[in-house]
Amino acid sequence: MTAFDLRHEDCVVGMRALPANSIDLVVTSPPYNLGIRYSKFSDRADRGGYLQWCKTWAAEIARLLKADGSFFLNVGASPANPMFPHQIVLELPDLFVLQNTIHWIKSISVEEKSGEIVSRGHFKPISSRRFLNDCHEYVFHFTKSGRVEIDRLALGVPYQDKSNIARWSHTSRRDRRCRGNTWFIPYETIQSRQKERPHPATFPVELAEWCIKLHGVARVKTMLDPFLGIGNSAVAAQKCEVKEFIGFEIDETYLVEARLRTGAQASLPGGQAGVSPAG
């Protein structure tokens, strides 16, 4: 069962109250500063100020993260701002080592040997004579040393060529290989955005689940999401039976939704949480 501590609080203020070296895993996605209409957050700050703010909350994550912890940062771009995710990464070399770069594929089209083209996933059209449709986002895997071992086969897939199982000694004769750094995870089909996905920029629950599994489920005792939103990372923690989950959210409407989805209770005065074991 997962004990939840979901707080209506600015994440920088909230993280400063937590003890250093106390978090095993962070999975989060900050506001992108690309003009997305959040309910209570201005997503149109000047780029310099925004990047400085990113370094402020990232520094708190670095203080909280254990030496063998992982920090998965989901960041998207827009066709007109393709450098944006990389600008954030370039703000963080004094805090973290970029250990892996994962591409979250939202939509893909593959031509089969028969010539048939098969398309899968969520395709968001744009009207442009200059840009391609943006069908992916980044998930940057940061650690403090760049040497943190991960559970590569937790997300493993079968070999297409089964002869590789016997040919390569590292397989230990198991039909399972590393999935690699391209993750195809489409959004779930919904009937009403307002009712089923009342947040303009969520990542799928499965994306957070895969981050937990890649780090190693058994190694995740305490997980943090500084930008909780409607709680997809918390739902993933619940599914993976993470012992403790901490989340911060400045928008009370989103926080209420996160609590409803996880069964978590409201925080008590003074920062104490009304923890609800759920799962």
The per-residue pLDDT for 194 is: 57
The three-state secondary structure class of 79 is coil
Confidence of residue 189 (pLDDT cuts 50, 70, 90): low
- Whether 41 contacts 256, CB under 8 Å: no
Residues in the chain: 279
Mean pLDDT of 90-105: 97
Confidence of residue 213 (pLDDT cuts 50, 70, 90): very high
Q: Indicate the domain borders of the chain.
A: 2-150+181-278
Mean pLDDT of 3-18: 98
Q: In what order do the strands lie in the sheet with 23-28?
A: 182-184, 97-105, 136-143, 65-75, 23-28, 222-225, 244-249, 2-8, 277-278
> pLDDT tens, 64-88?
999 999 999 999 988 888 999 999 9
- Of the two residues 40 and 232, the one the predictor is more confident about is 232
How far does CA 30 lie from the centroid of its chain?
Answer: 9
Mean pLDDT of 141-169: 91
Model's pTM, two decimal places?
0.88
Query: Is residue 195 over pLDDT 70?
Result: no
- Which residues lie across from 244 on neighbouring strands? 3, 222
Confidence of residue 159 (pLDDT cuts 50, 70, 90): confident
- Whether 159 contacts 177, CB under 8 Å: yes
Spatial separation of the C-alpha atoms in residues 224 and 226, rounded to whole Å? 6
The percentage of the chain sitting over the pLDDT mark of 70, rounded to a whole number, equals: 86
Query: Is residue 200 over pLDDT 50?
Result: no
> pLDDT tens, 108-119?
999 999 999 999
Query: Is residue 269 over pLDDT 70?
Result: no
For domain 2-150+181-278, the question of CATH label 3.40.50.150 is answered with: yes
The per-residue pLDDT for 198 is: 47
Residues sharing a CB contact under 8 Å with residue 265, sequence separation 6 or more, in sequence order: 4, 259, 273, 274, 275, 276
Q: Which phi and psi angles does 211 have, rounded to 5°?
A: -65, -45
